[in-house]
Amino acid sequence: MSGLPIVAIVGRPNVGKSTLFNRLVGNRVAIVEDTPGVTRDRIYAESEWSGKGFVLIDTGGIDPDTDDVIPARMREQAEVAMDVADVIVFLVDGRDGLTSSDEDVAQILRRTGKRVVLVVNKVDGGGAADSVYDFYSLGIGDPVAISAANMTGLGDALDIITEGFPVAKGGGADGEEDDEDIRVAVVGKPNTGKSSLINALIGENRLIVSEIAGTTRDSIDTPFEFEGRKFILVDTAGIRRRAKVTENIERYSVVRSIAAIERSDVCLLMIDARDGITDQDKRIAGIAHESGKGVIIVVNKWDLIDKETGTLEKYREKMRREIPFLSYAPDVFISAVTGQRLRNVLDMAEAVSENRSMRVSTGQLNSLIQDAMLMKQPPSDKGKRLKIYYVTQVGVRPPLFSFQVNSRGLMHFSYSRYLENRIRDVYGFEGTPVKFVFREKEDREGRA
C-alpha cells in the first residue's frame, strides 16, 4: 500500500528506542521469506493501530565515543527524521530525567514544522513518574508516559501518534488502488546520478503539469506526461551534505529511500556503473523487494565505462550474482548526462506497473500448478508429502497467490521458488515481486 504515513523515533542512546520499535511493530518484524541475499536492517517496519497503517522508522544505533559529540550526532539524526517523517516520536528517559541533550534535540524539533509526540519511557513506578513533569519545559507538548519494556501506556501513545492518520482501506479486497498515475521512485546511494536522471526526464519531455509537495514530506513529487502516459516522479533528493555530517551517511540515505519506496509503484534502483553493486545498493534493493514494489535496475554512467566485446554481458552477469533476489527485475544501462536509453526507462516503468496489476484466472493457475507438481514432485517429511489442493490469486500490486495445502510446514523454500519460477515462465511478471500465502484447510491466517 503506497502512501502510508511515516513515523520516526528519535532519542539519545539508551532511552529504549529499539525496545519501543519492536513493541510497536510486534510480529510484523518477523522474517517470513528466507530469500538469500536480502539484507534486512531492522530500522523500519510497517505497523497498524486501530485500523490505521503506518511505517515506523528507528533512527537509533548511535554510539557516541565521548559525551561532547552527542549534540552533533543527535542533530544529524533529527535532521533525517524531519526530512522523511510525518510524525516524530521524541523518546526520552524518565529514569534519567531531563538532560541537556534532550534540550538540544527539542530545540531542533521545534523548528521542523512536523508534529512531534513527546514520549517519556521507563516510567514504571518510583521517582520516574515524578520526572515526567520536568519534560513540560521542553515546550513541545504534553509528555506521554510509557514503559516499553513492560508494555504500559503504549495504547495511549499510539492514539496520539496516529491521530489524523487515514483508516486503511486497502483499495478494495485485493489491495487495488484507483490512482492511474505511475509513481516512480528514483532510489540509490548518493552520487549515482538520481537528480541528473530526474532532470533529464523532465527536461526532455517538457510536459511538467505542476510541482506538488509529497503528502506532508519535504521531497517533491513531480507529475508529468510522456506520450499520453501519466507519471509521478518521487525524488529521494539525496543526503544534504553538511560539514559535520561525516558518519552514518549510508544509514540515513537508506532511511530517505524508505520514504520514497513506500510512496511508489515502481522503483528505479540507480547503480553507478563505475562502483558496481555495493552493500548499500543491496540494502535498498531488499527494501523495495520486501515492500512489494516494482523494480528496474538502472545502471547509470555507462558512457564512462571502457568497453570491449562482451563488456555488458559480463557486467550484467556479475551484477545478477550480487543481487539474486532481484532476478525478476529488468535492467537498463544509461547515461543521464548524454540521454542514452532514457526513453527505455519510462517504457519499462509502464510495463512493470502493468505487470504488478496482472491477474491470472483461477482455472489457468490451477492447471499450471498441477503440471508443475507432475514435473517435480512436492517435498515430503517423515512419510508425509506436501499436497496442494487449490490455488487462486487474491491480490495485485504486487500479485498475491493463496495456496491451500495439507501442511504449511512441508512447503520448503526451494519448492516455493520452483512454483514461482513456473508461474513466471508462463506469465512473466517481469519487474514485480510475486508473493505466496500458504493456508491449511482450517487456517485463514497462515503465511509462509
State the average pLDDT over residues 28-33: 33
Q: Residue 4: what pLDDT?
A: 77
CA distances (Å), origin 306, targets 181, 312, 339, 340: 38, 10, 18, 16
All three cell numbers of 315, joined, read: 557486467
CB 329 within 8 A of CB 273: no
Q: Which long-range contacts (CB under 8 A, 24 or more apart) does 142-148 make?
A: 142/118, 143/92, 143/118, 143/119, 144/117, 144/118, 144/119, 144/120, 145/94, 145/120, 146/20, 146/119, 146/120, 146/121, 147/121, 147/122, 147/123, 148/16, 148/19, 148/20, 148/23, 148/121, 148/122
The Cα 411–Cα 388 span in angstroms is 10
pLDDT at residue 179 tops 70: no
Please give the model's pTM, rounded to 2 decimal places. 0.68
What is the Cα–Cα distance from 415 to 418, expressed in whole angstroms? 5
Q: Tell whether omega for the bond before 190 is within 30 degrees of 0, i.e. cis.
A: no
pLDDT at 213 over 50: no
Q: Residue 207's pLDDT is what? A: 29
Is residue 17's pLDDT more than 70? yes
Angle (deg, nearest 10), helices 362-375 and 413-427: 130
Selected residue with higher pLDDT from 399 and 169: 399
pLDDT at 66 over 60: no
Provide the 10 A C-beta neighbour count for residue 16: 23
Grid cell for residue 229: 502516459
Q: At what angle do helices 70-84 and 100-110 cross, to 10 degrees?
A: 30
Mean pLDDT in the chain? 79
- 233/186 Cα distance (integer angstroms): 7
User: Tens digits of per-residue pLDDT, 343-400?
Assistant: 899 999 999 999 999 999 999 999 999 999 999 999 999 889 999 999 999 999 999 9
Count CA within 13 A, CB hemisphere, residue 309: 0
Q: DSSP of 117-165, one letter per residue?
A: EEEEE--SSTHHHHHGGGGGGG-SS--EE-BTTTTBSHHHHHHHHTTTP
Q: Which of 76-90, 99-113, 159-173, 327-341 has the highest mean pLDDT?
A: 327-341
> Residue 21's CB: how many other CB atoms inside 10 A?
24
Largest CA distance in the chain: 74
| pLDDT score of 93 more than 60 | yes
Amino acid at 406: N
| Pairwise CA distance, residues 310 & 71, whole Å | 52
